[in-house]
Amino acid sequence: MPVFQKIVVPLDFSEHSSRALEMAIDIAKQSGGTLHLVHSYPINPILLSPYGVSIPPDLERGFRETTDEQLREWAERASKAGVDVEIFTSSDAPSEAIVHHAEEIHADLIVMGTRGLTGLKHVVLGSVAERTLRHAPCPVLTLRAA
């Protein structure tokens, strides 16, 4: 089995993310690696600017603080399993945040959940997993919820 020292785990706090985190914990325990939990809370000012709408600084700060709190709770799961863990938040689009962080830390693996959307939902919403797979600097393991 390859040794994965830096494992990025994107989280959207769903059941799919929970399964990915559990798998990543198992991999990190076997390889002695560190988990890097990533969450993105994209706020797109370009969509708002034509309408003269601005995001109050307190609102973005609230998103960031809430996200950090949730990430710390999820990180505690890894810590209790004896795995080193770090957290990272971003206001970028999810796939961009995941790929950027993986590049920045020279990740060995990305472990992420996927919802498996099909049809119109896939066309309209796209797939974070698919975009991540296309641009990731390392292998990507995707998991669906059981």
Highest average pLDDT, of 72-81, 90-99, 119-128, comes from: 72-81
pLDDT at res. 119: 46
Domains contained in the chain, CATH given: 6-143 (3.40.50.620)
Work out the pLDDT band at 122, boundaries 50, 70, 90.
very low
Contact 6/33 with Cβ under 8 angstroms? yes
pTM attached to this predicted model: 0.83
DSSP character for 23?
H
Task: Find the DSSP H helices in the chain.
Answer: 15-31, 45-48, 57-80, 94-105, 119-125, 128-135
Degrees (nearest 5) of the Cα angle 122, 126, 130?
Answer: 105
Grade residue 16 by pLDDT with cuts at 50, 70 and 90. Answer: confident
User: Which of the four pLDDT bands, split at 50, 70 and 90, describes residue 39?
Assistant: very high
The predicted structure's pLDDT at residue 83? 97
